[in-house]
Amino acid sequence: MATVLAAVVALSFLSGGYIFSRTAPIVFGLLALAVAWVWLAPRRLKLGRASLVGLSALALFTLWEGLSIAWSVGPDLSWLAFDVSLLYLIVVAVVTVTPAGPAQLRLAGYGYVWAMVPVAVYAFLGKVLPDKLTHAHLYARLSAPIGYWNVLAIMLVMAIVPALEGASRRGLPAAARGAFAGALALFLLTLFFTFSRGGTLAVAIALVVYFALTNERLQGVLTLALTATPAAAALYHARHLETLFNATTNDALRTAQGHAFGHWALAAIGLAIVAQVAAALVARAIPLAGRRRHVVGAVVLVVALVVVTVGGLAFASRYGGLGGFAHKIAHQFTSSDTSANPKSSGAGRLLALGSNGRIPMVREGLKSFPHHPLAGTGAGTFRFTNYLYRPNASFLVKHAHNQWINVLSELGLVGLVLFVLAIGGLLVAALRPLGRAARGADRGLLAAMQAAIVAFVAHMTIDWDWDMAAAAVVFLLFAGVAAAYVRGRRAGPAAAATPAQPDAARPPARGLRFGVASRVLASGALALVALSFLLPYLSESALSRAIVLASDNRTSAAIDQARRAHRLDPLAVDPLFTLALVEQQQGQASAALATLRQAVRLQPQNYATSYELGLMELNVLGRRTEAAAAFRRALTLNPHDTNSSDELAAALAPPATP
């Protein structure tokens, strides 16, 4: 678990684990430790029924992704998606099977809080020290180091609930509770500056689930108030510092205002720490019990309901009341408008309604479904669906921003059923009630992790978190550890109630036997997984070298590297594109033409192969008729591609007279 948390931090600083070439080295380290786990695992692997369903469905879903390579419109992309799902399967299988007690639960929950601190600090410093960390210059929204603000937001949300639980946990020392409160204040401030409406919705869902499941509701509400109030006060005080909330090109002003806000942010975090330490000491000296506890709890509940109600009505009033709000929501689902919200880059977007193009993305996936109802277009290939059905040239996406629709489009009904069973099984296993063990000391932390996984599932319904390994691995870690902890705690009371028996009379241990043969087989499977990651990783490395060599006019070496890239990943067309360009540099027009025709045969549904072939026919060979045919094929697959349209016009234009 500690290794997985370390991998999450590393992936967070490596584009969130989205870029394969950056993710692969981390995966190799995890796979090596997975092999060690295989040989140290218990002799009997115990799983609850829901966990078994979830893991089996995820394994079948991963296998289905691998099989989709055979019919995929982009088989190289399907291979990469298959590899990433293999990583997810290994992580969740290991943490679910491994027995988990309070120590493992705290390591996963609290460990993630402190793993996210450097991520949040780096992100937040882009706002308050823009002269030192320039990653927040292009947009007002924070996204670094993950690279995507909405995924940064959901990762912060998954850290907020265990940080809240740690800050409000009565059994912890006052200093530790203060430290958790400081982390919580940092997470809240950073979350705000992502300006993520999905993140705001996710944190609301997480808090509702947490307070519904925890046994420390009053402490949690008081802690949240003591932490969120100074953070909100700092933001309110800085409301006139426009560069914090909107994009700007004035570097000097951005720096000055960032430094000014930095002092207030530090003060807010410090005040949250001091307030929580003081509250912990007061609660220890004057414990709330009996009637006083119920009275205080009732007052806090009433205040919370009033704040939520007033805030909700005030928000709805911006759109003409509840009726206007409902009409606006309905309009989003019926409108085909794909334009971004005019306030999409600043803080104003938090109070703006709009799908920001998500509804049209969902429609694209639904349009693709009837053409491939059972098998889909292949894992990782939604970009081709977008090329085919997008409403205009500027609407370019690689994911439907809805994981369920994305799976339906890429893997058909079979893939969607398996994915629903996988996520559903993991959720049921992690959310099962504890029964007689429900009042344990770690019930609140378990509730926090359960709230985090529910928030993740809700958020991936409106975004592409599943494709970002840093976020998805946290979800799987929390789900697996929670399921293992619940399984152990539910079995604990029954086991304790059984009197000790002699070994001869003791019933045989239950669970799947994990003997030497099984361990050898598992180790071999992990080696194959490593190989599956290694080949495309080496191919990308060789392709990068080929491009560098070609730019240095070292064409012979570039050709060797491009051919090596193709041998390592024979499903990819990018090595063939590079090879054809270098062959053109060497004056080998016929060889370049043959290479591009090979690319078309390899991926006939990829518009880029026809486009590149058309460029070769037109600009190198001067064959206008063949070039026009290639560009028409490209436009059939990508009707709004302006480059193909322009080149087709050039091919059809009469040749210039000398």
Taking 50 as the threshold, does the pLDDT of residue 505 lie above it? no
Q: Which pLDDT band, with edges at 50, 70 and 90, does 43 fall under? A: confident
**What confidence score (pLDDT) does residue 343 get?**
47
Say if CB 405 and CB 414 are below 8 A apart.
no
CA distance 160 to 207: 9
Last residue within a domain, chosen from 272, 287, 302? 287
Beta-carbon contacts of residue 17 (< 8 Å; ≥ 6 apart): 11, 23, 26, 468, 469, 470, 472, 473
Among 229-233, 354-358, 475-479, name the most confident range.
Answer: 475-479
385 within 8 A of 74, measured Cβ to Cβ: no
Output the pLDDT for position 302.
Answer: 67
Percent of the chain with pLDDT over 90: 71
pLDDT at 286: 72
Are 283 and 294 members of one domain?
Answer: no
Q: Residue 314 has what pLDDT? A: 55
Question: Where in the sequence is the domain holding 424, given as residue range(s)?
Answer: 1-98+357-490
Say yes or no: 62 and 127 in one domain: no
Q: What is the mean pLDDT of residues 639-645?
A: 94
Mean model confidence pLDDT for the chain: 88
| 248, 201: one domain | yes
Q: Which of 487-491, 540-544, 628-632 has the lowest mean pLDDT?
A: 487-491
Residue 47 lies in a domain: yes
pLDDT of residue 438: 63
* pLDDT-wise least confident of 301-315, 428-442, 625-639: 301-315
Is pLDDT larger for residue 395 or for residue 83? 83
452 domain-assigned: yes
Stated pTM of the model: 0.91
Instruction: Say if residue 225 is in the same domain as residue 308.
Output: no
* 637 and 577 together in one domain: yes
Asked if the structure places residue 431 within a domain, the reply is yes
In a domain, 344, yes or no: no
pLDDT in tens, 262-318: 999 999 999 999 999 999 898 777 766 666 565 655 666 666 566 656 555 554 455
Distances (CA, A) of 625 to 581, 622, 628, 631: 21, 9, 5, 10
Least-confidence region, from 68-82, 331-345, 432-446: 331-345
Q: Can you count the helices (H) and strands (E) in the chain?
A: 25, 2
Which among 467, 490, 513 is the end of a domain? 490
| pLDDT tens, position by position, 360-374 | 899 999 999 999 999
> Residue 340: inside a domain, yes or no?
no
Predicted confidence at residue 571, as pLDDT, reads 96
48 found inside a domain: yes
Dihedral angle, C-alpha 321, 323, 324, 327, nearest 10 °: 160
Distance CA 493, CA 482 (A): 18
- Last-in-domain residue among 490, 518, 552: 490
Residues 419 and 460 in one domain: yes
Report residue 207 as tokens: 């808090």
Is 482 found in the same domain as 444? yes
In a domain, 559, yes or no: yes
CA-angle at 414, arms to 527 and 384, nearest 5°: 80
Do 70 and 213 share a domain, yes or no? no
Our count of domains for the chain comes to 4
Q: What is the DSSP string of 338-374?
A: -PPPTTTTSGGGGG----TTHHHHHHHHHHHGGGSTT
Q: Is the pLDDT reported for residue 592 higher than 50?
A: yes
On whether both 174 and 259 belong to a single domain, the answer is yes
- Identify whether 341 is part of a domain: no
Cα distances from 288 to residues 158, 168, 175, 193, 292, in angstroms, run 29, 14, 20, 36, 6
- 645 and 604 both lie in a single domain: yes
- Any idea which of 112-116, 288-292, 345-349 has the lowest mean pLDDT? 288-292
Give me the percent of the chain exceeding a pLDDT of 70. Answer: 85
Q: In terms of domains, do 29 and 115 share one?
A: no
**What is the rounded distance in angstroms from the CA atom of residue 608 to the CA atom of residue 390?**
16
Same domain, 602 and 568: yes
